[in-house]
Amino acid sequence: MKKLLTMLLLSIALILAACSGQTGGESGGDGPVEITYLKPGADDPDTRERVQDIIDRFEEENPDIKVKLEAVGWDNAYQKLVTGFNGGSSPDVFAGGSRWMTAFADMGALLPLTDMASEKIKEYPEALQQSSQYKDEIYAIPRAFSARSLIYRTDLIEEPPTTWEELVETAKTVQEENEGMYGFAISGAAHVSTTTQYFNYLLQNGGEVFDEEGNVTINSPEAVEALKYYTDFYTEHKVVPNPVEYNRELLPVLFKEGKIAMYVIGPWGKSLMGVDPDNEDTPYASAPLPKGKKMANILVSDSIYVSAKTEHPEESWKFIEFLTSLEEQKEFDKSNGSLPLLTEEAKDPFFKEDPYFSTFVDMIEHGEPQPMPAVWEPFQDVITTAVQRALDGEDPQTVLDDAAKEIKEQELEPK
């Protein structure tokens, strides 16, 4: 009888709790709503700390919302998200490459933001407004944007190279004069940066990945010539460490350690090096990319998305509004080494007067958009495989012919 009474009282308590909304869930009772935010790159301790600082400021202003940070490396982010979408679970808010938007939208994984973001999106330049829309819906809010420049050692190189030919000669000279140091460095790892680094030379040589109709042209004479120039740094001139061992984000570390004299990166290279340009050990400066047939560089952006599976769209949007507010975006871009996203932010003298950042701002004028295949990740794999095969000594024409064939067979052309 006593046991039966106890069970009866417990049942009554649970019913009362349910009726009052006190279920113990993440948004139960008077406690705050919890949303998750997945941030690629936050597996790096310094990046994670900066992101957590932003979250702390948001939670201080919005005590009714808690944000749980999920950290993942860029190499694993896309697959982790796809697995979550297919498994019925995903973060409420996540950052990622703008190149992912079309595939995720077609999967039904993204919450359309048009109603909430129609005014917000006007704060960005027209090009970024367009990159956030697909099939007449706004699916993304821009978060980071960058152009490319050359970083070089000012104590070892009096004048930076300005042409492809000068880049090779400068790399050879500085390497001969400094034992144990490579003159230059490029990326060849299975990583998105290998595609973008190669594409800089492709664009400068007058090539393109897809034509205006969406047909693949990655095996054109211009593309083949650009790949040969890129891989010759390693196979012929031997002025770079083994590219397959490095993605672009590792090159600033090599530079800071005095192991390379030049490399190409976006403005965030400064934060990855962790030293100011006038430091005593590895003084450096930024310069325009050495010019090929024309001056060009690839423009890449990252965006923030809301999952279609979120149960907290209003709280998720409130978090995005905070992340991309003028004050927070400006601080993020300065500390992260990104170019100014917001039209109003670009008026800040910091971005135009700082000798390091001004070079990247100037390179925007020569920027060309990143190619947009039907699905990015398998496309990226095809391109990096081609680059790695060429680095291993295979004929550039053969590997790019194979790449073009595979892009067609996998239906990755943006038609």
Note the pLDDT tens digit of each residue in 119-171. 999 998 877 888 888 888 999 999 988 889 999 999 999 999 999 999 999 99
Instruction: Provide the pLDDT confidence category of residue 22 given band limits of 50, 70 and 90.
Output: very low
d(CA 256, CA 61): 38
Q: How far apart are CA 80 and CA 370, in angstroms?
A: 23
Q: Which tens digit of pLDDT belongs to each residue from 59-108?
A: 999 999 999 999 999 888 999 999 999 988 899 999 999 989 988 998 99
- Residue-wise pLDDT for 276-326, tens only, equals 999 999 999 999 999 999 999 998 889 999 999 999 999 999 999 999 999
352: Cβ contacts below 8 Å, ≥ 6 apart: 358, 361
Q: Kindly list the structural domains of the chain, giving each domain's residue range(s) and its CATH number in brackets, ordered by start.
A: 11-146+300-356 (3.40.190.10), 149-299+371-409 (3.40.190.10)
In this structure, which amino acid lies at residue 357? F
Compute φ and ψ for 66, nearest 5 degrees: -110, 140
pLDDT at residue 17 above 80? no
Q: Answer whether residue 243 shows pLDDT above 60.
A: yes
Cβ atoms of 65 and 318 closer than 8 Å: yes
Find, among 74, 209, 98, 200, the residue nearest to 149 by Cα: 200
CB 252 within 8 A of CB 261: no
pLDDT of residue 2: 34
Looking at residue 128, its pLDDT comes to: 81
* Each residue's pLDDT tens digit, 224-235: 999 999 999 999
Q: For 176-186, what is each residue's pLDDT tens digit?
A: 999 999 999 99
Q: What span, in angstroms and rounded, lies between the C-alpha atoms of 38 and 71?
A: 6
pLDDT > 90? residue 395: yes
Confidence of residue 1 (pLDDT cuts 50, 70, 90): very low
Query: What does the pLDDT read at residue 19?
Result: 38
CA distance 198 to 384: 9
Instruction: Give me the pLDDT at residue 6, please.
Output: 36
CB 339 within 8 A of CB 147: yes
**pLDDT of the residue at 29:** 53
* Per-residue tokens: 21: 């909304």
**Nearest C-alpha neighbor of 59 from the set 34, 41, 39:** 34
Burial status of residue 205 (CB atoms within 10 A of its CB: 0-12, 13-18, 19 or more)? buried
320-379 tens-digit pLDDT: 999 999 999 999 988 876 788 898 998 888 888 889 989 998 898 888 888 888 889 899
CA distance 243 to 174: 19
- Over residues 38-45, the mean pLDDT reads 93
Q: What's the pTM value of the predicted model, to 2 decimals?
A: 0.76
* pLDDT tops 60 at residue 20: no
* Own/partner long-range contacts of 124-130 (Cβ < 8 Å, ≥24 apart): 124/341, 124/342, 124/343, 125/343, 127/369, 128/301, 128/341
- Rounded Cα distance between 312 and 317, Å, is 9
Average pLDDT, stretch 4-8?
36
